[in-house]
Chain A
Amino acid sequence: MSQDYYESHRGEWQWQDGDYTVTRTTAWSGPGCHDGCGVLYYTKNGKLEKVEGDPDNPFNQGTLCMRCLEMPEFVNNPARLGHPMKRVGERGENKWERITWEEALDIVEEKVRAIWADYGPESIVCHIGTGRNNCDQIPYLCYAAFGSPNFSMGYLAGDSCFCPRSASMASQNGDFMIADCSQQFEKRYDESTGWRCPEVIVNWGCNAVVSNSDNFYGGWIVDCMQRGSKMITVDPSLTWLAARSEYWLRVRPGTDAALAMAMLNVIISEDLYDHDFVECWCYGFDELAERVSDWTPERAAEVCWVDAEDIVGAARMYAEASPAAIQWGLKLDQTTNATATACAVNSLWVVTGNVDNPGGNIIIRNAFDQNLSYGYGYHLLSPEVQAKRLGAEFPLMSRAGYSSSAHADSVLQAIETGEPYPIRMVWMTSTNPIANMGADAPRIYRALKGVDFVVVNDLFMTPTAVAFADLVLPAAMSPERNSQRCWWVPNRTLTKVTQYEECVSDDDLVTMVGKRLHPENFPWDDNIGWINHIFEYETNDKLPYKSFEEAQKAVWSYPEFQYLKHEKGLLRPDGQPGFNTPSGRIELYNTNLMLWGYDPLPDFKEPSCSPVSNPELAEKYPLVLTTGARSFEFFHSEHRQAGTVSRELHPDPLFEMSAKSAAEHGLSEGDWAWIENQRGRCRQKLHVNPSLDDRVVRAEHGWWFPETEGAEPNLFGVFDSNINNLTPQCENGDTGFGAPYANQLCRVYRCTEENSEVLPGEQVTKHGGYSKVIDESNGDVKVGAIYG
């Protein structure tokens, strides 16, 4: 074998390899997720030809998932948007005229100035997909260029993607906490850092190896398993990790809080908790113990459809391990009980003393104090404008500041009702809400049709763009952008290696728009100037580089990390030991929640549409529906383009039932069936999943079919297989956080010619959708209003 190729280029950020230029950098959305893995881009004559994992990058250590490996198929895809376009037909006709960037910016400026004059800046709303571009550019556009406080995720009901867990952690601990798989160290699994491999890892409410969610690369769990970690998995389906777990708790969707409280009950009643930690560092342990005292394993077993012995066994195994880590996920957010659920799980790692210890759940902050994200530029708004942010009815989010975005459901209601003020313009970057993320997609369709001016800035012509956009602006993909980011650690950069047509990076687009409207907030010329500004003004002086030119060569930089920061006085502004909470302790009795009028202790609330809470509805819709399980092939609604490896491996939308349930419904593997409830229906293809409870159905999200007709009524088939025809908007927890995406009821029946005459696309675009009867009290559909 010749000399090790990667070894020979160690320390270089760019080199020539025959006709190729090889560039060492990182990648994040879009396309793909927001993890920021290290990549080697191979370009030839300015075209991206192939992508390899960077073996020197500690984050992914040379490995890559299939989505980055197939990135050239998307970067060089002829279906990409390449030029600004304005609508020439009616909305939904998919007729466009190419215009110049100058013309596009003229249109935006004219509309914004007119709205400012006639309504006020708050009548402009900006959205991104959850975590897109990670995540500060479009928030800055909203606040610093448009002067509006109304940035939010594209109709993500209840902000139910990490935001509920974030708020619970912030209020309870004063900080974020994450499972310690050594990701904070450049030396990774080398224990000279003080890191220890968790004895037990609990993977709860996310299939980590598929989703790579929340800046956590799922392969790290497998790395830890190979170093001895034992697993506990909480999931309605037997995931691959569940099959390798000592305990698989097959929880009924939406009942995780009951399970967590029963585990707390076992740990406290069997005296398995960490007395020293509780004594020294916790507030409200007795109240928590009292609250969980009647949550016996037997009671939770009945609620959660899990065996009581398994709850006991898992609780003991977790509590007796030292250290143990919990890696949790999105499904804990996707219930109206999200805040309490997250507090309950957070309490598990607290009472067992797995707090900022090696191999437990560590306290993590953004590298080099660079705290941009959804709040970047918000301080530029006057208090009067900030007070107009939609969602003020939820004081924990708004007044206490535990949300850094407007409340998506409240934005939708403002569009629908004009209250508290009308919404006249919606700007959407890399978000496709009627394909993904927006619950009750037909309702969003009706609402957005009524907005005066809609800009869609995306990678491809999406159903959202066809249905609503007046202006479509082409977005650059990851290898076409210079950028940098912090999301915990490390700080890292994107280096631009290619250009597609006239696509513009988010950073440059925001700068171009901002310079026309509020030039004083944009004292830089381009994306590189903006990065340098962030390094100078938004980052502490421990960052080892001061310019993008230096940063792109370094590619990444890890800050120093210390364990047990609460013992060292490293968490509080006053430098005292303890946590950054009102009591200085971790608040098992959450005084922040109490202050704003909420229950300070975790509790379980039955989902509103369940066999228990609504037996009458369950007679018509007897199956419990959970949605949104991730696939290796897709990131949400991305990667659906025909001819790509993603669609080759995963051509159709799939839903799952147990073999027994499928047989009872007369269905076999591969049959197309309608999934239906009181809100609407969609069709997907059956995959028999022998591990499911017979009463549970799992369905995929994010489907559209770019190979089919874009114009209405088809809209790339976006409504036909859309599981969000069945989920509600504006049903949130009392905090405003959480929405029941993953705990609905449904029935399933085979697709036939007769029952498929009017497809959902036609129903939604031509016949007013599924829900003409609106309940004035909460804006939601009256249960049972659709099919009598």
Chain B
Amino acid sequence: MTVNALLIDYEFCTGCHACEVACKKHLGLPQGQFGIKLLQDGPRELPGGGWEYNYLPMPTSLCDMCASRLDEGKDAACVHHCPAHAMRFGPADEIAAAAAEKGRRAMFVPTV
């Protein structure tokens, strides 16, 4: 069986919460619960100048990899709505290859 993975290009994640909310709506989650949770690092001034300021949405244990959406022929709710087009979902080997194409990308495999 294919193992699916989620690719986050955290160079371009703006921290907008769209993935969190799209996921909450899809899974019907109550207040305080998330299927994907936005993490933030920075803004922090770097010793050599410039700033570190990144967001990274991280799937939680409630993420079901949008099984029902995939069955319907849809994409994952978070990926679909990302205003920065900074997310991708697909077979883990394809995502791993895509992750290696540029820096500042992260790959999540929520379940196998």
List the interface of chain A (C-beta within 8 A of B). 1-8, 50-53, 55, 60-66, 69-70, 72, 209-210, 217-219, 222-223, 225-226, 238, 240, 242-244, 248, 632-633, 643, 645, 648-649, 689-691
Contacts of A64 in B (CB 8 A): 18, 22, 81, 83
Chain A residue nearest in CB terms to B53: A243
Shortest CB distance A190–B (Å): 15
Cα separation A649 to B24 with both chains bound (whole Å): 12
Contacts of B21 in A (CB 8 A): 66, 69-70, 645
Contact between A5 and B74, CB atoms less than 8 A apart: yes
Shortest CB distance B47–A (Å): 14
Contacts of B61 in A (CB 8 A): none
Shortest CB distance B85–A (Å): 6
Chain B residue nearest in CB terms to A67: B21
Tell me, yes or no, whether B92 is within 8 Å of chain A by CB: no
> How many Cβ-Cβ contacts under 8 Å join chain A to chain B?
110
Contacts of A62 in B (CB 8 A): 80-81
Cα separation A55 to B20 with both chains bound (whole Å): 19
From known contacts A65-B18, A65-B83, A222-B83, infer whether A8 and B73 are also in contact, taking CB-CB under 8 Å: yes
Contact between A240 and B15, CB atoms less than 8 A apart: yes
Contact between B14 and A3, CB atoms less than 8 A apart: no
Contact between A53 and B81, CB atoms less than 8 A apart: yes
Cα separation A632 to B38 with both chains bound (whole Å): 13
Cross-chain contact of B32 among A5, A225, A648, A689 (Cβ < 8 A): A648
Considering only residues 53-76 of chain B, those with a C-beta below 8 Å from chain A are 53, 55, 70-74
Shortest CB distance B54–A (Å): 8
Chain A residue nearest in CB terms to B84: A222
Cα separation A497 to B2 with both chains bound (whole Å): 39
Cα separation A8 to B43 with both chains bound (whole Å): 43
Cα separation A65 to B21 with both chains bound (whole Å): 9
Cα separation A473 to B74 with both chains bound (whole Å): 40
Chain B count of residues within 8 A CB distance of the other chain: 34
Contact between B86 and A222, CB atoms less than 8 A apart: yes
Contact between A4 and B51, CB atoms less than 8 A apart: no
7 CB-based A-B contacts, threshold 8 Å: A52-B80, A53-B81, A66-B16, A69-B25, A69-B81, A217-B83, A222-B86
Contacts of B101 in A (CB 8 A): none
From known contacts A64-B18, A649-B17, infer whether A1 and B73 are also in contact, taking CB-CB under 8 Å: yes
Contact between B73 and A53, CB atoms less than 8 A apart: no
Contact between B83 and A691, CB atoms less than 8 A apart: no
Cα separation A373 to B24 with both chains bound (whole Å): 37
Contacts of A691 in B (CB 8 A): 43, 45, 51
Contact between B81 and A4, CB atoms less than 8 A apart: no
A66-B21, A219-B14 are known contacts; what are 14 more A-B pairs with Cβ within 8 Å?
A1-B73, A2-B71, A64-B18, A65-B83, A70-B21, A72-B25, A222-B86, A226-B12, A643-B31, A645-B21, A645-B24, A648-B32, A690-B44, A691-B51
Cα separation A1 to B32 with both chains bound (whole Å): 32
Cross-chain contact of A6 among B25, B31, B70, B74 (Cβ < 8 A): B74
Tell me, yes or no, whether B48 is within 8 Å of chain A by CB: no
Chain A residue nearest in CB terms to B51: A243
Contact between A648 and B12, CB atoms less than 8 A apart: no
From known contacts A5-B74, A643-B31, infer whether A209 and B83 are also in contact, taking CB-CB under 8 Å: yes
Tell me, yes or no, whether B95 is within 8 Å of chain A by CB: no
Contacts of B20 in A (CB 8 A): 66, 649
Shortest CB distance A306–B (Å): 15
Tell me, yes or no, whether B42 is within 8 Å of chain A by CB: yes
Flag B1-38 by CB within 8 Å of A: 1 or 0 each: 00000000001101111101110110000011000000
Contacts of A55 in B (CB 8 A): 80
Cross-chain contact of A238 among B11, B43, B83, B85 (Cβ < 8 A): B43
Contacts of B44 in A (CB 8 A): 690
Tell me, yes or no, whether B82 is within 8 Å of chain A by CB: yes
Contact between A218 and B83, CB atoms less than 8 A apart: yes
Shortest CB distance A650–B (Å): 9
Shortest CB distance B40–A (Å): 10
Cα separation A219 to B85 with both chains bound (whole Å): 8
Contact between A240 and B14, CB atoms less than 8 A apart: yes
Contact between B73 and A70, CB atoms less than 8 A apart: no
Cα separation A209 to B25 with both chains bound (whole Å): 22
Chain B residue nearest in CB terms to A222: B84
Cα separation A685 to B20 with both chains bound (whole Å): 24
Shortest CB distance B9–A (Å): 8
Cα separation A689 to B45 with both chains bound (whole Å): 11
Cα separation A420 to B6 with both chains bound (whole Å): 64
From known contacts A2-B72, A238-B51, A243-B53, infer whether A53 and B80 are also in contact, taking CB-CB under 8 Å: yes
Contact between A5 and B73, CB atoms less than 8 A apart: yes
Contacts of B32 in A (CB 8 A): 648
Contacts of B42 in A (CB 8 A): 243
Flag B69-109 by CB within 8 Å of A: 1 or 0 each: 01111100000111111100000000000000000000000
Contact between B85 and A50, CB atoms less than 8 A apart: no
Contacts of A72 in B (CB 8 A): 25
Contact between A4 and B24, CB atoms less than 8 A apart: no
Contacts of A209 in B (CB 8 A): 14, 16, 83-84
- List 10 tightest A-B contacts by C-beta distance, closest first: A243-B53, A219-B83, A5-B73, A66-B21, A222-B84, A2-B73, A63-B83, A69-B21, A209-B14, A66-B17
Contact between B43 and A222, CB atoms less than 8 A apart: no
Contact between B43 and A243, CB atoms less than 8 A apart: yes
Contact between A4 and B80, CB atoms less than 8 A apart: no
From known contacts A1-B70, A64-B18, A648-B31, infer whether A50 and B83 are also in contact, taking CB-CB under 8 Å: no
Cα separation A609 to B54 with both chains bound (whole Å): 35
